């Protein structure tokens, strides 16, 4: 297996030869894929796409898709209370760090209903894009415009259900050449199996899986950074078991002052 490194705009692609089909011995296909401007790469079964640019509030928009009360009672891929906790934590991450934030839902008078009360309380008066019947949010002009107007090309997408509107919106974002990150623990489905299969399809299509708290940590960078208090507050409010163990350490660390240049 021969491997070479090709670089695009802030991206690297490991390219290598792979068997097309083990049943056809001797037949090999060299899978070469070039990246231009960081927006034309797609992961294929024989390719490894590696994006090394950090996610920051300045380059990332968090997209919340259909976190509606009508879905909450039928979700079985995650514990409902934990799922809602993660969604609220993700929304706070967007608001407190100042990343882009786009929330969308169907009409509140539909069976799916309005947003989770915990999410609505968190985002307050932040606009919620009301879609019609489109599973793929990017087929809705208002949604596509809202995402575009954030001015960011990296999208951290979460929602329900994984195999429905989330899957279709993620694929739609990839077709629009956005760089997509699926926030798997703020996304839920009817069963663990349907969640896992949909996540696998999105990853194979080019999305990268993340968790909401790891995203907050990536935004923070350092426990001494100016945004570290946001991270500590998120930990206290949404990951209290971790907060209990590290709070004294973080307090002592901050008292040491800025790290030498």
Asked whether 188 and 68 are in contact (CB, 8 A), the reply is no
One domain for residues 95 and 189? yes
Percent of the chain, pLDDT > 90?
Answer: 66
Tell which wins on pLDDT, 26 or 133. Answer: 133
One domain for residues 132 and 228? no
Q: What angle in degrees, to the nearest 10, is found between the helix axes of 212-220 and 80-97?
A: 20
One domain for residues 91 and 205? yes
One domain for residues 130 and 9? no
pLDDT exceeds cutoff 70 at 2: no
One domain for residues 182 and 88? yes
One domain for residues 71 and 191? yes
The structural domain count of the chain equals 3
Strand partners, 29: 18
The closest alpha carbon to 210, from 183, 233, 172, 190, belongs to 183
Q: Which domain holds residue 229?
A: 221-255
One domain for residues 128 and 45? no
pLDDT tier at 8, thresholds 50, 70, 90:
very low
Q: How confident is the model over 185-234, as pLDDT tens digits?
A: 999 999 999 999 999 999 999 999 999 999 999 999 998 899 999 999 99
* 58 Cβ neighbours under 8 A, 6+ residues apart: 99, 152
The closest alpha carbon to 9, from 43, 48, 57, 53, belongs to 53
Would you say residue 261 lies in a domain? no
What is the rounded distance in angstroms from the CA atom of residue 51 to the CA atom of residue 3?
17
Q: How confident is the model over 98-130, as pLDDT tens digits?
A: 999 999 999 888 888 999 999 999 999 999 999
Averaged pLDDT score across all residues of the chain? 82
- Helix (H) or strand (E) segment spanning residue 7: strand 3-8
On whether the pTM is more than 0.85, the answer is no
One domain for residues 156 and 82? yes
pLDDT exceeds cutoff 80 at 235: yes
Q: What average pLDDT does this structure show over 83-112?
A: 95
């Amino acid at each position: 297996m021969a491997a070479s490194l090709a670089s695009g705009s802030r991206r690297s692609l490991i390219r290598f030869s792979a068997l097309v089909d083990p049943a056809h011995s001797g037949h090999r296909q060299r899978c070469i894929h070039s990246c231009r401007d960081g927006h034309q790469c797609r992961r294929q079964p024989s390719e490894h796409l590696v994006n090394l640019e950090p996610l920051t509030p300045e380059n990332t928009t968090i997209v919340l898709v259909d976190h509606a009360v009508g879905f909450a009672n039928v979700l079985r891929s995650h514990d409902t209370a934990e799922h809602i906790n993660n969604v609220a934590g993700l929304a706070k991450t967007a608001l407190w760090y100042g990343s882009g934030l786009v929330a969308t839902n169907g009409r509140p008078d539909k069976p799916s209903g309005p947003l989770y009360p915990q999410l609505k309380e968190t985002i307050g008066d932040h606009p919620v894009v009301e879609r019609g019947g489109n599973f793929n949010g990017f087929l809705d002009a208002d949604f596509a415009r809202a995402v575009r107007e954030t001015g960011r090309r990296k999208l951290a997408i979460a929602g329900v259900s994984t195999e429905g509107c989330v899957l279709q919106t993620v694929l739609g974002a990839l077709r629009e050449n956005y760089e997509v990150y699926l926030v798997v623990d703020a996304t839920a489905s009817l069963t663990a199996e349907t969640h896992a299969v949909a996540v696998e399809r999105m990853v194979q299509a080019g999305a990268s899986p993340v968790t909401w708290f790891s995203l907050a940590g990536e935004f923070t960078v350092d426990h001494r950074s100016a945004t570290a208090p946001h991270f500590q507050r998120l930990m206290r409010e949404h990951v209290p078991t971790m907060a209990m163990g590290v709070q004294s350490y973080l307090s002592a660390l901050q008292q040491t002052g800025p790290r030498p240049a």
